[in-house]
Chains A and B, each alone.
Chain A
């Protein structure tokens, strides 16, 4: 009934309360971290409420390292589970399923991640399997072909859903040739050319311990876990030379309005993004920006949702979000509406953004947003999975426990003067990048109102 709550709000990191009766005033459970000789960073946090253990690992092997082989990092991540030195794929699937555990491997733009959850009693078995998947994958050729074929059909199927593809189009438009525009799953022509040799070589170059981290949270003893991990992961060889981060290159953002119109012949509605450059994860104003975005487009009563949904009934939900990466990021307004109401929906979105700049915000709405952000903080770090993920995020984006400890203080310290500065500095006023997925014949004239239009077909 309120789609926005699930899809659009989450830009921040939040936290769990265990024993604190006031849900606000939050403390991060204790954890330790250490580095193995090969450079692998390990975080351990004991949590004994439920007899489970979660593992989260990150390595710098995401889509930004694809070069011209789009989809390579993604397929390599998936192929980790195609069998290892001591386990065939079949055996792996059976072992993991039999004990009710799970292991997922996935690539994001910047990093590849492994996440796993299992019963505490299965600790030894699962750590051995995880170690094999990360260090000793065999990349079976037959399994690779199957995975690749599934991906190829999946890429075609994605085109059935505007929501599934619009983000990729937007990132390409915004980031241009910068690696942040790389599409994680690649495209049909690039994936079609990939071979099992490509993934073997990608693995060999990029899966190294020295810029990687593993975090483990749950029902175990730190001392014993430290011993086990040291034994399992110390033989992992570090890379000879540091791999250059291709995302460090400058991003050339557009200096005028652009519109990318994606024709979907059978569309009955227009799905659109309006956006621009945003911030990187380590921006010192991260928390303040999150509070303001909550007010603008990050919750049900936000300015955007209030106008586009509640007042006008143009859409089921409208929102905005800052997507943050290590060296840059984007800001997007996103919503959808019936084809015939495309123009009022885009106009309203721009009007609400303009209102944010001209009217600023008042004391009461600022307090409301601050309360909301603080109130919704605890459930974000309730589970062992969430906590394990937090620790690897801290590693990746280079922040520490003070982010959690100072979160509430940073929210409280945001006053009206600073809030209005944040709006002027981080919320765009011009150079908007529009992506519209819809029936081009019916909305092309409208699209032209907003900037230079490039039209492509969703099937291309």
Chain B
């Protein structure tokens, strides 16, 4: 997508954008690919022209495909070279999802990368890079009427495409614990446990999000204060419960302390989860998370980048950007009982997949 279209040929997309004071980047998750441009307001028309050009008439140069193949192989390799987390989380996700496409690694497998054909890329582009499958958010020192004019001029003429195929596979309920072990030369073992949880639009989203913060946000959080500070079983611990279109995972990650058997670390995590299932969380804890959510919101809207990101996230994953403004209310509605109930509902042994990465996998 950075490598040439009809009007702006190979290299010209970036050269033109940077000449006009703009920069850009992009990322892909299991659900979406997001392109972001940061540019002076005076360059807005050029940016619309560039985006309109590459979305309407991307032309993939065979020579560029070859160098880009090397680039992506290097991206994959350098990720693995510098952190064990991707290796471990990809393995856990592939184990937790057997049928649903969340099974697949986002960046892909080395042999697949070496064998992509130009037509594979073209087919993928045509299917998904269509205006009817895209949301654009613009924030900054701009006038709405001007953005509208430019959108009509540069983006409206791009023909829509047939709806991309719907994902029809629902992952069958997990009926027993799954475990996977991986080998890599590491100082101490890396641990991960993931529970199947619902998609963002589900009513349990807000309570699960609060639970994630209760467990791992700040040094007073349950997992940090117990595992890292008090028991010293881990050197770091964090959780991840992100946005998704389909039911996804609530993941807990920890790095074992020196001389700690990962099974002891694992059991200590379950002890904390059981405490919440049995005794719930306190009112003060809930209020703490609500206070943190408000600060988080301030931080997000303090920058134009944060505004665009946030509005886009609500529009795409929650179905309406206006839900961003309802978020504080939606968090405030959650009670301590709600948090306890969703912990009971999802944090079950039969619903979890456990991954351990360590140096010696023979013992």
Chain A residues within CB distance 8 Å of chain B: 1-3, 5-6, 17, 20-24, 49-52, 90, 93-94, 96-102, 117-119, 146, 149-150, 152-154, 156-157, 159-164, 265-269, 271, 299-301, 306, 309-316, 336-338, 367-368, 371-372, 374-376, 378-379, 382-384
Contact = CB atoms under 8 A, between A and B. Distances in A.
B68 A313 contact: yes
Given A149-B258, A153-B187, A160-B186, A93 B19 contact: no
B86 to A, nearest CB: 12
Contacts of B80: 268
Interface string B186-201: 1110000000000000
A316 B71 contact: yes
A371 B22 CA distance: 8
Contacts of A301: 11, 14-15, 18
A299 B18 contact: yes
Q: Is the interface of A mostly helix, strand, loop or mixed?
A: mixed
B74 A24 contact: no
Nearest to A270: B81
B242 interface: no
Contacts of A90: 220, 225
A23 B141 contact: yes
A401 B235 CA distance: 42
Interface size of B as a range: 35 or more
A378 B18 CA distance: 15
B187 A312 contact: no
B173 interface: no
A104 to B, nearest CB: 11
B12 to A, nearest CB: 10
A23 B140 contact: yes
B41 A97 contact: no
Given A51-B298, A97-B217, A97-B292, A382 B303 contact: yes
A160 B185 contact: yes
A312 B235 contact: no
Interface string B242-284: 0000000000000101100000000000000000000000001
B136 interface: no
Nearest to A336: B78
Given A160-B185, A160-B186, A97 B67 contact: no
Given A22-B42, A97-B219, A383 B303 contact: yes
Interface string B276-303: 0000000010011001111110110111
27 contacts: A1-B2, A6-B25, A24-B21, A24-B40, A50-B301, A93-B218, A97-B221, A117-B299, A119-B291, A146-B229, A157-B187, A157-B188, A157-B235, A161-B82, A163-B82, A266-B185, A269-B77, A271-B81, A300-B18, A300-B24, A311-B67, A316-B71, A368-B15, A371-B20, A372-B18, A375-B21, A383-B302
A73 B102 CA distance: 45
Interface of B: 2, 11, 14-15, 18-28, 38-43, 66-75, 77-78, 80-84, 140-141, 184-188, 217-221, 225, 228-229, 232, 235, 255, 257-258, 284, 287-288, 291-296, 298-299, 301-305
Contacts of B219: 93, 97
B298 A50 contact: yes
Contacts of B302: 49-50, 52, 382-384
Contact of B220 (A49, A97, A119, A163): A97
- Which 8 A-B residue pairs are closest in the complex by CB-CB distance? A375-B21, A313-B70, A100-B295, A313-B67, A156-B187, A97-B218, A100-B292, A23-B40
A313 B114 CA distance: 13
Nearest to A302: B18
A332 B255 CA distance: 32
Nearest to A6: B25
B69 A313 contact: yes
Contacts of A22: 40-42, 141
A337 B235 contact: no
A22 B44 CA distance: 11
Nearest to B302: A383
Given A93-B219, A97-B217, A24 B42 contact: yes
B211 to A, nearest CB: 16
Question: Which of A2, A22, A119, A162 has the largest number of chain B CB atoms within 10 A?
Answer: A2
B70 A314 contact: yes
A95 B299 CA distance: 20
A359 to B, nearest CB: 18
A315 B71 contact: yes
A290 B291 CA distance: 41
Given A161-B83, A313-B68, A375-B22, 19 more contacts: A1-B25, A21-B41, A97-B220, A97-B221, A119-B298, A150-B235, A153-B187, A153-B188, A153-B257, A154-B235, A160-B187, A269-B74, A300-B24, A309-B71, A312-B67, A367-B19, A376-B23, A382-B304, A383-B302
B44 to A, nearest CB: 10
Contact of A376 (B21, B72, B75): B21
A94 B69 CA distance: 49
Contacts of B43: 375
B255 A119 contact: no
Contacts of A309: 67, 71
A111 to B, nearest CB: 24
Given A23-B41, A313-B69, A314-B74, A1 B28 contact: yes
Contacts of A164: 82
B232 A149 contact: yes
Contacts of B229: 146
B280 to A, nearest CB: 18
Given A97-B288, A162-B82, A299 B23 contact: yes
Contacts of B78: 163, 269, 271, 316, 336
A17 B38 contact: no
Contacts of A118: 295
B74 A336 contact: yes
Contacts of B84: 160
B42 A1 contact: no
Nearest to A383: B302
A277 to B, nearest CB: 27
Among B2, B80, B235, chain A packs the most CB atoms within 10 A around the CB of B235
Contacts of A161: 81-83
Given A1-B27, A119-B294, A309-B71, A157 B255 contact: yes
A3 B27 CA distance: 10
Nearest to A384: B302
A412 B67 CA distance: 35
B83 A368 contact: no
A146 B232 contact: yes
A149 B259 CA distance: 12
Contact of B70 (A269, A271, A312): A312
